[in-house]
């Protein structure tokens, strides 16, 4: 509680306004053991305007820890109320809790990944579209080469894959230096209404996809790496699964040399 006393000791014509983080079960930040020692004199010279905590397992709605954290949060709020802070802003819910736990919404919610139209967890909550979310981010790249190859052609470093039939390969101008995970297997690109899966290892600046023998894709053409999936293309969730990871990592690891284009859209309400 020393920090609160130090803030209260600051000489000012106005009382310091403080927003407190409390630890209800995440063990990442906020007051925990110290809270039991909190007394009225610790907060006598400050104005507490808000209190918040963070769920550890809100993307697993049936887990008892969510109930325990919510209860603990209410108890910590009650402590502040007992000191006269009865009009404070309370917030606990992240994206998952906002979508699935009405009881934990309190005064504010903190929607992170959901703002960008992505599910907090595809395995426990379902895909983005099933939650009424539309992914805001689309990543496109160019095919800088399309070439025909015979069956049995080894592809990429280490020759970890070979073509199983006569086909056309596309070389996509992105790689792990741009945020495409080197471990990606099972994802790919979308072109001309069809999926083309990755074949072989992802390289630093490029990766190879199997376009299929009858593909009409050409060198220099733009393709979709991932998007909203509404027309059949790959999604960030699918890329995450293909890498043994999650959509959060896929969208946040896209590197700085990939240009960003920001588009606004009008929102309508009924």
Query: What's the confidence (pLDDT) of residue 2?
Result: 63
Tokens for 146, please give them: 């399309």
Closest of 215, 81, 85, 227 to residue 147, by C-alpha: 215
**Residues forming CATH 2.40.37.10 domain(s) in the chain:** 139-252
Torsion of CA 186, 123, 244, 163, to 10 degrees: -10
Cα three-residue angle 29-64-98, rounded to 5 degrees: 65
Cα three-residue angle 217-152-172, rounded to 5 degrees: 30
Question: What's the rounded mean pLDDT across residues 28-57?
Answer: 91
Q: Does the pLDDT at position 213 exceed 50?
A: yes
Bridge partners for 162 per DSSP: 154
**Residues forming CATH 3.20.20.10 domain(s) in the chain:** 2-111
Question: What's the rounded mean pLDDT across residues 85-112?
Answer: 96
Question: What's the rounded mean pLDDT across residues 180-208?
Answer: 96
- Work out the pLDDT band at 11, boundaries 50, 70, 90: low
Tokens for 231, please give them: 């027309």
Top CATH class of 2-111 equals: alpha beta
Query: What's the confidence (pLDDT) of residue 1?
Result: 59
- Work out the pLDDT band at 266, boundaries 50, 70, 90: low
3-state secondary structure labels for all residues of the chain: CHHHHHHHCCCCCCCCEEEEEECCCCCCCCECHHHHHCCHHHHCCCEEEEEECCCCCCCCCCCHHHHHHHHHHHHHHHHHHHCCCCCCEEECCCHHHHHHCHHHCCCECCCCHHHHCCCCCCCCCCCCHHHCCCCCCCEEEEEEEEEEECCCCEECHHHCEECCCCEEEEEECCCHHHCCCCCCCCCEEEECCEEEEECCCCCCCCEEEECCCCCCCCCCCEEEEEECCCCCCCEHHHHHHHCCCCHHHHHHCCCCCCCCCCCCCCCCCC
Mean pLDDT score of the chain, rounded to an integer? 93
The answer to whether 46 and 7 have CB atoms below 8 angstroms apart is yes
Query: What's the confidence (pLDDT) of residue 15?
Result: 83
Question: What's the rounded mean pLDDT across residues 204-208?
Answer: 97
Is the model more confident about 37 or about 205?
Answer: 205
Query: What's the confidence (pLDDT) of residue 44?
Result: 84
* CATH of region 139-252: 2.40.37.10
Q: Who contacts 249 (Cβ-Cβ below 8 Å, separation ≥6)?
A: 181, 240, 243
- Work out the pLDDT band at 267, boundaries 50, 70, 90: low
Q: Quote the CA–CA distance of 227 and 233 in Å, as a whole number.
A: 7
pLDDT of 128-179, one tens digit each?
999 999 999 999 999 999 999 999 999 999 999 999 999 999 999 999 999 9
pLDDT of 53-79, one tens digit each?
999 999 999 999 999 999 999 999 999
pTM summary value: 0.87
Q: For 229, phi and psi rounded to 5 degrees?
A: 75, 5
Query: What's the confidence (pLDDT) of residue 269?
Result: 46
């Amino acid at each position: 509680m020393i920090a609160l006393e130090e803030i209260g000791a600051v000489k000012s014509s106005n009382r310091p306004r403080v927003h407190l983080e409390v630890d209800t079960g995440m063990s990442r930040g906020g007051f925990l053991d110290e809270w039991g020692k909190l007394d009225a004199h610790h907060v006598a010279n400050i104005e507490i305007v808000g209190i918040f905590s963070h769920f550890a397992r809100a993307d697993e709605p049936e887990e008892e820890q969510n109930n325990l954290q919510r209860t603990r949060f209410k108890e910590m709020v009650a402590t502040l109320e007992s000191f006269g802070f009865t009009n404070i802003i309370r917030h606990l819910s992240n994206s998952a809790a906002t979508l699935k736990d009405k009881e934990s919404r309190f005064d504010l919610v903190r929607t992170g990944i959901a703002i960008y139209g992505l599910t907090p967890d595809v395995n426990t909550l379902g895909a983005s579209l099933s939650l009424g979310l539309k992914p805001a981010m689309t990543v496109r790249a160019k095919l800088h080469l399309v070439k025909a190859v015979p069956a049995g052609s080894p592809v990429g470093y280490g020759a970890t894959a070979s073509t199983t039939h006569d086909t056309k390969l596309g070389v996509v101008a992105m790689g792990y230096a741009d945020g495409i995970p080197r471990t990606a297997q099972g994802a790919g690109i979308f072109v001309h209404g069809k999926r083309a899966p990755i074949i072989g290892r992802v390289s630093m600046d490029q990766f190879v996809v199997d376009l299929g023998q009858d593909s009409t894709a050409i060198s220099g053409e733009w393709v979709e790496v991932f998007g909203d999936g509404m027309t059949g293309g790959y999604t960030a969730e699918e890329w995450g699964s293909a890498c043994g990871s999650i959509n959060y990592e896929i969208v946040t690891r896209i590197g700085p040399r990939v240009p960003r284009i920001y588009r606004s859209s009008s929102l309508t309400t009924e």
